[in-house]
């Protein structure tokens, strides 16, 4: 009877503007009465003696009347509860019917205060960018809560696993989500202001942001006094980079271009491991600029992939050469099998600027179903985010904490003619646990 009642209610609503409306409502009223009567019959009523009163009609026993009233009240209470249960089931069913699609998100974030990009389940004391991202995805209703606990369920993959303190203006993650309305606005409403989702695009079902990536571009922002020679130049913010020194910087950086064995630039690889060979497409230093009374410069580097700490050690070695702590020939020697103690520049100035999907774009970017992953329309948003959050954080932190100055003071402690104790230990193929790996380019990204 309940099913008939629901069915007639639906028909009545759909026929609200037809001639059948009065008839349907009449039939609906009749079914309600029958349903209530059947419910009352099912309510146990204790037998009570009936006393005849004078007159042609007898009065109903109050005990019986009370039982019927209680039955009526119970019927009236159970009907809305049943409707609520039905509505909840319909809402859950509606969520399941939402389209679940593979997408990519364009992310920008300031990495200060975070232990890298990758989430470390079970290590709540080390907060990562993905901790905040996954929380926002769950709260906004794009993914179910159990997907937040097990990211494999949403096919989650980051393009680069940036290291502690490293920022990004163009990080890409791929995942499956429910395509809810106003999805970007809802995700961003649950994120702190220094983490933003700048864009979203549909991709092929098998897309993997790490494996599909052809190259990654980083930049490293540093005060120019890092290039000042230790014996000939001033060593503080009064220093200004000359055109001749800038030319020398770019000459050294250009030496990295091409394919080399970078096993000395990470702690993960041995000299004979094929994966230690990496291809660098471009590396150069741009013209200096002033911020807050201090001169800064930006080094840009594009490569297929980078190992943990690789970029920071590449820059650290160039600075050591420019400052006069080591001869230029050590760069060639570092690509051989011999262990070389290479200093690692601070992580503060390192930023993942963009990732490249050139092969994917050629195959799917103009197929009429998918968009190319070039983010041309989001360029202005990326620039604004860098100006608002990334550059100011680097400048303010450098001026307050003097991270570059403190690191420069450690350079005399390096023995560039022999491997450090750490390097010798690494020669025994000791590798960091996967859960603790971070990198300039994302572990082995």
Q: Compute the distance between CA of residue 95 and CA of residue 88 in angstroms, rounded to an integer.
A: 11
Tell me the residue range of the domain where 132 lies.
100-211
Does 434 fall in a domain? no
Same domain, 119 and 190: yes
Same domain, 111 and 178: yes
pLDDT for position 30: 55
Same domain, 396 and 310: yes
Same domain, 228 and 325: yes
SS3 356: strand
What residues are designated binding site? Answer: 218
Instruction: Please state whether 73 falls in left (phi above 0), alpha (psi between -120 and 50) or beta.
Output: alpha
Question: What phi and psi, each to the nearest 5 degrees, are found at residue 158?
Answer: -90, 150
Q: By the 8 A CB rule, do 221 and 296 touch?
A: yes
Same domain, 174 and 221: no
Does 342 fall in a domain? yes
Question: What phi and psi, each to the nearest 5 degrees, are found at residue 152?
Answer: -65, -25
Q: Tokens 């104790």 label which residue?
A: 421
Note the pLDDT tens digit of each residue in 217-226.
Answer: 999 999 999 9
Count Cβ neighbours within 10 Å for each residue of 241-258 and write b for 16 or more, e otherwise: beeebbebbbebbebbbe
Does 362 fall in a domain? no
Does 6 fall in a domain? no
Q: Which residues contact 239 (CB under 8 A, 6 or more apart)?
A: 224, 225, 228, 233, 295
Same domain, 188 and 250: no
Domain boundary among 190, 211, 232: 211
Q: Which long-range contacts (CB under 8 A, 24 or more apart) does 177-180 make?
A: 177/100, 177/101, 177/103, 177/137, 177/142, 177/143, 178/95, 178/98, 178/99, 178/100, 178/141, 178/142, 178/143, 179/98, 179/99, 179/100, 179/101, 179/103, 180/98, 180/140, 180/141, 180/142
pTM score: 0.74
pLDDT for position 170: 97
Does 2 fall in a domain? no
Same domain, 288 and 330: yes
Same domain, 202 and 306: no
Question: What phi and psi, each to the nearest 5 degrees, are found at residue 263?
Answer: -65, -25
- Flag residues of the chain having pLDDT under 50: 5-6, 8, 11, 15-21, 23-24, 34, 36-37, 39-59, 64, 72, 75, 84-85, 87-92, 94, 420-439, 444
For the question of residue 163 being annotated catalytic, the response is: yes
pLDDT for position 119: 87
Count Cβ neighbours within 10 Å for each residue of 309-342 and write b for 16 or more, e otherwise: bbbbbbbbbbbbbbbebbeeebbeebbeeebbbb
Does 29 fall in a domain? no
What residues are designated binding site for substrate? Answer: 218
Same domain, 136 and 201: yes
Same domain, 205 and 227: no
Domain boundary among 177, 211, 245: 211
Same domain, 177 and 230: no
Point out the catalytic residue in the list 61, 91, 132, 163. 163
Adjacent-strand bridge partners of 195: 109
SS3 140: helix
Domain boundary among 193, 211, 229: 211
Note the pLDDT tens digit of each residue in 278-327.
Answer: 999 999 999 999 999 999 999 999 999 999 999 999 999 999 999 999 99
Does 40 fall in a domain? no
Does 56 fall in a domain? no
How many domains does the structure of the chain reveal? 2
Q: Compute the distance between CA of residue 375 and CA of residue 364 in angstroms, rounded to an integer.
A: 15
Q: CATH code at 322? A: 3.30.70.660
Of 156, 164, 155, give the one whose Cα is nearest residue 129. Answer: 164
pLDDT for position 440: 57
Same domain, 183 and 230: no
């Amino acid at each position: 009877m309940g099913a008939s009642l629901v069915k007639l209610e639906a028909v009545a609503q759909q026929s609200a503007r037809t001639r059948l409306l009065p008839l349907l409502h009449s039939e609906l009223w009749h079914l309600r009465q029958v349903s209530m009567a059947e419910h009352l019959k099912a309510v146990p009523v204790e037998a009570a003696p009936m006393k005849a009163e004078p007159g042609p009609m007898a009065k109903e026993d109050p005990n019986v009347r009370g039982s019927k009233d209680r039955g009526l009240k119970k019927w009236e209470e159970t009907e809305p509860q049943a409707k609520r249960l039905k509505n909840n089931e319909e809402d859950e069913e509606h969520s399941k019917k939402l389209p679940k699609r593979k997408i990519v998100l364009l992310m920008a974030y300031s990495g200060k205060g975070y232990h890298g990009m990758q989430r470390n389940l079970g290590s709540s004391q080390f907060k990562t960018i993905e901790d905040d991202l996954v929380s926002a995805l769950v709260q906004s209703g794009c993914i179910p809560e159990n997907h937040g606990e097990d990211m494999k369920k949403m096919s989650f993959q980051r393009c680069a696993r940036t290291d502690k303190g490293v920022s990004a203006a163009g990080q890409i993650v791929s995942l499956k989500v429910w395509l809810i309305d106003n999805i970007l606005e809802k995700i961003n409403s649950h994120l702190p202001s220094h983490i933003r989702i700048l864009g979203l695009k549909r991709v092929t079902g098998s897309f993997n942001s790490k494996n599909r990536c052809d190259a990654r571009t980083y930049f490293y922002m540093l005060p120019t006094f890092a290039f000042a020679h230790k014996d000939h130049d001033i060593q503080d913010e009064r220093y200004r980079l000359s055109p001749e020194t800038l030319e020398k910087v770019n000459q050294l950086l250009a030496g990295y271009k091409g394919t080399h064995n970078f096993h000395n630039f990470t702690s993960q690889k041995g000299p004979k491991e094929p994966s230690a060979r990496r291809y660098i497409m471009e590396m150069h230093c741009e013209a200096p600029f002033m911020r807050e009374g201090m001169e800064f410069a930006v080094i840009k580097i594009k490569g297929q992939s980078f190992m943990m700490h690789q970029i920071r050690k590449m820059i650290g070695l160039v600075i050591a050469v420019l400052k006069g702590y080591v001869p230029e020939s050590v760069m060639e020697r570092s690509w051989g099998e011999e262990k070389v103690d290479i200093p690692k520049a601070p992580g503060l100035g390192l930023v993942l600027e963009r990732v490249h999907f050139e092969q994917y774009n050629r195959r799917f970017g103009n197929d009429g179903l998918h968009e190319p992953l070039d983010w041309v329309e989001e360029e202005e948003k990326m620039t604004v985010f860098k100006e608002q959050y990334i550059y100011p954080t680097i400048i303010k932190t450098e001026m307050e904490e003097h991270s570059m100055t403190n690191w420069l003071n450690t350079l005399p402690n390096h023995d560039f003619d022999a491997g450090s104790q750490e390097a010798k230990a690494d020669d025994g193929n000791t590798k960091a646990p996967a859960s603790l790996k971070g990198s300039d380019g994302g572990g082995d990204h």
